[in-house]
């Protein structure tokens, strides 16, 4: 390895040909561009020390897992797989405990089982976890009763309590975040290695709430039908279907805090590429997706598959520019576009953006985030989302893609395995008056386990040609 590269991770290796990204790339080349959504630290020396420590610590994921995911995403682009990406809006350090992690995993597994059965396609499971600790905010400060403090930007940056001390960005939190991501991932890998994701044992994923849920019967029917299919296949072929694979679960987070992303970006000699080894699939939010901004400069040079959020405020030229800068070689599986228009804007905006991407000749994977365009605030000031609007956006996405000769290849959901009351509607018809009962999110409202499972069931129903209704008990 080149000594300079080894020492600082700053040696340039890749020259991109397409404009405007025609300058040499290296993991720190983003520093010459305007970087939005970065915290202002009071002590630059301490920050530098923390970043140097992060750069020395071992990676959380490895390049062959990342390449395996890219290959699966390429299959999803061809309609051979479906992507389920989900987890908290923001993970919190406090929630890094076995029960909460296992519950989140269980919900994602249950959803993927339901989707597998309905869609008849293998499901790629990507958690918004093990590193989802930094958040973009619409304002730098928050004012309460005449007091103005820096906004909470996720546990990697500062703390949610409304005091000057808690809101002060603290570089050491980046190390705490790295450690919690490692602990989370270690636990998830152990569960998977131990057979937790084995399709033969869906009972491992049972969640207590389901016993009393109106969805229980419908879910059990799906589980039984999969057990029957497995049994049939295994008796016919004499083979056993194995699903307990180490790389069966992938991680993702928003690649927002550029210094820490840079510190975890490593050169893999054998592949002659730079990878962000803190996660399998980082994504870039729309607030940081300016064509000549620092985030796009950073993202264009890493070899991971990447996601880009696409909202109603994005126009055709902007999106075409992103596709060209981020995937100039038109590499299969490289680029996932996560559209999040909201039920009100999707009809108007999605068709023209599908056409705009098609005009570039680039292959992308389109998935729908039905959460972020459907956020509203109640009269009482509580941030929430309505289940019906979330479902409406997913349904419209399937239909519009089909009408445009494209296809919806996955969904991106904010959810938790806990029994929270943050989004309204769903099988139990949560109302505005229920929100206060168990609202835990510091940032965006998440579907609770039951609402998330119901959404998966409705997607599966729709795709298997049945009406989008579930017989509730």
Least distance from ligand PEP to the Cβ atom of residue 196, Å: 26
Q: Which helix (H) or strand (E) holds 368?
A: strand 365-368
Q: What residues are paired with 141 via a beta bridge? A: 150
| The residue to which tokens 């300016």 are assigned | 290
Smaller CB separation from ligand PEP, 9 or 86: 86
Range 162-179 burial, b when 16+ CB lie within 10 A, else e: eeeeebbbbbebbbebbe
Closest to 219 in 3D by CA, of 84, 118, 368: 118
Instruction: Tell which positions 79-98 bind ligand PEP, by CB under 6 A.
Output: 89
Helix (H, G, I), strand (E, B), or coil: what is residue 364? coil
Smaller CB separation from ligand PEP, 418 or 444: 444
446 binds ligand PEP per the rule CB under 6 A:
no
Instruction: Tell which positions 12-51 bind Co ion, by CB under 5 A.
Output: none
Instruction: Tell which positions 365-384 bind ligand PEP, by CB under 6 A.
Output: 372
Smaller CB separation from ligand PEP, 371 or 427: 371
Smaller CB separation from ligand PEP, 321 or 445: 445
Report strand pairing: 141-144 vs 265-268.
unpaired
From the list Co ion, ligand PEP, none, pick the one residue 286 interacts with, judged by a Cβ distance below 5 to 8 Å according to partner type. ligand PEP
Smaller CB separation from ligand PEP, 128 or 462: 128
Smaller CB separation from ligand PEP, 207 or 367: 367
Residue least distant from ligand PEP (Cβ): 285
* Residue 468 token pair: 């989008």
Instruction: Tell which positions 136-195 bind ligand PEP, by CB under 6 A.
Output: 136
Least distance from ligand PEP to the Cβ atom of residue 308, Å: 10
Least distance from ligand PEP to the Cβ atom of residue 374, Å: 11
* Residue 255 token pair: 């690649």
From the list ligand PEP, Co ion, none, pick the one residue 309 interacts with, judged by a Cβ distance below 5 to 8 Å according to partner type. ligand PEP
Count of residues touching Co ion (by CB under 5 A) = 2
Distance (Å, whole) CA 390 – CA 455:
9
From the list Co ion, ligand PEP, none, pick the one residue 257 interacts with, judged by a Cβ distance below 5 to 8 Å according to partner type. none
Instruction: Tell which positions 88-107 bind Co ion, by CB under 5 A.
Output: 89
Smaller CB separation from ligand PEP, 67 or 155: 155
Q: Are 45 and 39 in contact (CB under 8 A)?
A: no
Query: What backbone phi and psi angles, to 5 degrees, belong to 276?
Result: -85, 110
- In the shown chain, the binding pattern of residues 274 to 303 toward ligand PEP, with x for contact by CB under 6 A and - for none, equals -----------xxx----------------
Q: What residues are paired with 144 via a beta bridge? A: 147
Instruction: Tell which positions 108-137 bind ligand PEP, by CB under 6 A.
Output: 136
Helix (H, G, I), strand (E, B), or coil: what is residue 274? strand
Distance (Å, whole) CA 53 – CA 64:
24
Smaller CB separation from Co ion, 29 or 375: 375
Distance (Å, whole) CA 133 – CA 141:
18
Closest to 277 in 3D by CA, of 65, 26, 467: 65
Q: How far apart are the first and last CA of the chain?
A: 62
Least distance from Co ion to the Cβ atom of residue 420, Å: 14
Distance (Å, whole) CA 59 – CA 279:
9
Helix (H, G, I), strand (E, B), or coil: what is residue 372? coil
Q: Are 114 and 219 in contact (CB under 8 A)?
A: yes
Instruction: Tell which positions 388-447 bind Co ion, by CB under 5 A.
Output: 444
Least distance from Co ion to the Cβ atom of residue 417, Å: 17
The only residue of 340, 385, 389, 401 in contact with ligand PEP, by rule CB under 6 A: 340
Distance (Å, whole) CA 162 – CA 166:
7
From the list ligand PEP, Co ion, none, pick the one residue 73 interacts with, judged by a Cβ distance below 5 to 8 Å according to partner type. none
**How long is the chain?**
473
List interacting residues with Co ion (CB under 5 A): 89, 444
List interacting residues with ligand PEP (CB under 6 A): 89, 136, 285-287, 309, 340, 372, 444
């Amino acid at each position: 390895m080149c000594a300079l590269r080894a020492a600082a991770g700053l040696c340039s290796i890749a020259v991109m040909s397409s404009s405007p990204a025609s300058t040499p790339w290296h993991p720190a080349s983003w520093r010459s561009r305007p970087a939005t959504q970065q915290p202002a630290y009071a002590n630059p020396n301490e920050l530098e020390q923390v970043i140097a420590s992060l750069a020395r610590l071992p990676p959380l994921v490895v390049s062959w897992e990342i390449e395996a995911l890219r290959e699966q995403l390429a299959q999803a682009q061809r309609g051979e797989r479906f992507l389920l990406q989900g987890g908290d809006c923001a993970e919190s350090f406090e929630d890094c405990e076995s029960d909460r992690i296992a519950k989140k995993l269980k919900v994602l597994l249950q959803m993927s089982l339901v989707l597998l059965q309905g869609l008849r396609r293998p499901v790629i499971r990507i958690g918004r976890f093990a590193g989802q600790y930094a958040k973009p905010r619409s304002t730098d400060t928050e004012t309460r009763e005449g007091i103005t403090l820096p906004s909470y930007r996720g546990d990697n940056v500062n703390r949610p309590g409304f005091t000057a001390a808690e809101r002060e960005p603290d570089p050491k939190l980046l190390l705490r975040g790295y450690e919690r991501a490692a602990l989370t991932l270690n636990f998830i890998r152990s569960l998977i290695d131990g057979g937790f994701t084995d399709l033969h044992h869906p009972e491992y994923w049972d969640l207590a709430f389901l016993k009393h849920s109106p969805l229980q019967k419908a879910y059990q029917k799906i589980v039984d039908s999969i057990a029957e299919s497995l049994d049939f296949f295994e008796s016919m072929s004499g083979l056993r279907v194995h699903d307990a694979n180490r790389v069966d679960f992938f991680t993702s987070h928003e690649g927002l805090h550029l210094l820490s992303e840079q510190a975890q970006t490593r050169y893999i000699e054998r592949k002659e590429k730079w990878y962000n080894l803190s996660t399998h699939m980082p994504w870039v939010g729309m607030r940081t997706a300016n064509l000549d901004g620092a985030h796009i400069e950073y993202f264009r040079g890493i070899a991971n598959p990447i996601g880009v959020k696409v909202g109603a405020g994005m126009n055709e030229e902007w999106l075409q520019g992103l596709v060209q800068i981020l995937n100039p070689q038109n590499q299969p599986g490289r680029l996932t576009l996560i559209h999040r228009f909201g039920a009100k804007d999707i009809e108007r905006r999605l068709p023209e953006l599908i056409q705009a991407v098609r005009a570039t000749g680039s292959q992308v994977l389109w998935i729908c985030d039905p959460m972020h365009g459907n956020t509203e605030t109640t009269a009482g000031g509580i941030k929430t989302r309505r289940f019906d609007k979330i479902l409406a956006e997913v349904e419209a996405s399937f239909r519009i893609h089909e009408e445009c000769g494209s296809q919806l290849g996955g969904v991106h959901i904010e959810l938790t395995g806990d029994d929270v009351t943050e989004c309204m509607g769903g099988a139990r018809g949560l109302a505005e008056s229920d929100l206060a009962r168990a609202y835990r999110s510091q940032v965006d409202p998440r579907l609770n386990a039951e609402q998330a499972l119901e959404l998966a069931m409705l997607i599966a129903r729709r795709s298997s040609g049945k009406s989008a209704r579930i017989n509730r008990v």
